[in-house]
Amino acid sequence: MGISIIDQTGVIVVDMQGDFTLLKKGSLAVQDTDQSYVDKVHTVTKQLKSKGYKIFATQDFHPQNHISFYTSHNDKAPYDTIEIEDRVQILWPPHCVQGSDNADILIDSNLFSGIVQKGMDPKYDSYSGFFDDGGINTGLEELLKSFQINTLIIFGLATDYCVKATAMDAVQLGFNVILIESLCKGVAEDTTLSALKEMKSVGIKIIPSISDAL
């Protein structure tokens, strides 16, 4: 018997953490991330697990003095931008600080075959679950390859930042990528629309709900 499609498809639940949700009054709460959204993500993740899909998670996990926090810079406010080397860094409110309750993943950890933490280097942000802004590999690619995964179903927070960066890098690395739009929420409407367009343009399949993917 060969390897089935389910065996070769992994699920990545991106940054489903308290600080990104209204449910947990997060410092960087994304719109529409109430109890019903988190419950829906949890239910779908459990369903996929019971069908045999391997489930993975990314977790934003910053030290207190992280470069992406406006509090790490003099005279800066939340959502200011600064230029560092050749890149633009948005300055966020402190979020997902290592050891804080709101850094926790809101989905039952027993569902995951692996959790990849990112953004631990104080000098580099990491929207992508695969590489940080300094180009350092998080280990997610090797983890997925160790399970012979070549196709990814991706959802979580936030559409226009970490979901997009993770999905775009996945395509770059040769994975087939399916994005479940209704299980993703974006920080802002304009950047979410352009993120969806950009993802579509590189061949990411954007599907309204999980039932359309299976």
Asked if 15 is an active-site residue, the reply is yes
Which listed range, 38-46, 59-67, 133-141, 177-185, lies at the site for Zn ion (CB under 5 A)?
59-67
Q: Which is nearer to Zn ion, 125 or 141 (CB)?
A: 125
Cis peptide before 167 (omega within 30 of 0): no
Q: Which is nearer to Zn ion, 119 or 156 (CB)?
A: 119
Which listed range, 16-24, 34-42, 99-107, 111-119, lies at the site for Zn ion (CB under 5 A)?
111-119
Q: Which is nearer to Zn ion, 91 or 207 (CB)?
A: 91
Triad 11, 15, 18: Cα angle to 5°: 135
Size of the site for Zn ion (CB under 5 A): 2
Which residue matches tokens 């580099």?
124
Shortest CB 108 distance to Zn ion, Å: 23
- As a whole number of angstroms, the distance between CA 50 and CA 20 comes to 26
Shortest CB 160 distance to Zn ion, Å: 13
Cα separation of the two ends of the chain: 21
Which listed range, 42-50, 117-125, 136-144, 176-184, lies at the site for Zn ion (CB under 5 A)?
117-125
Phi then psi for 123, rounded to 5 degrees? -85, -15
> Closest CB to Zn ion belongs to which residue?
60
Q: Which is nearer to Zn ion, 19 or 141 (CB)?
A: 19
Phi then psi for 98, rounded to 5 degrees? -50, 130
The token pair that represents 201 in the structure block: 């343009």
Q: Quick check: 133 binds Zn ion (CB under 5 A)?
A: no
Helix axes 189-201, 164-172, angle to 10 degrees: 10
| Cβ contacts of 13 within 8 Å, gap of 6 or more | 41, 45, 55, 56, 57, 58, 105, 107, 112, 155, 156
Shortest CB 88 distance to Zn ion, Å: 15
Among 19, 60, 133, 169, binds Zn ion (CB under 5 A): 60
Asked if 162 is an active-site residue, the reply is yes
Of 15, 60, 160, 169, the catalytic one is 15
Of 160, 162, 164, 169, the catalytic one is 162
Residues in the chain: 214
The token pair that represents 120 in the structure block: 């631990």
- As a whole number of angstroms, the distance between CA 137 and CA 65 comes to 21
Shortest CB 62 distance to Zn ion, Å: 6
Binding-site ranges for Zn ion (CB under 5 A) = 60, 119
Supply the residues annotated as catalytic. 15, 118, 162
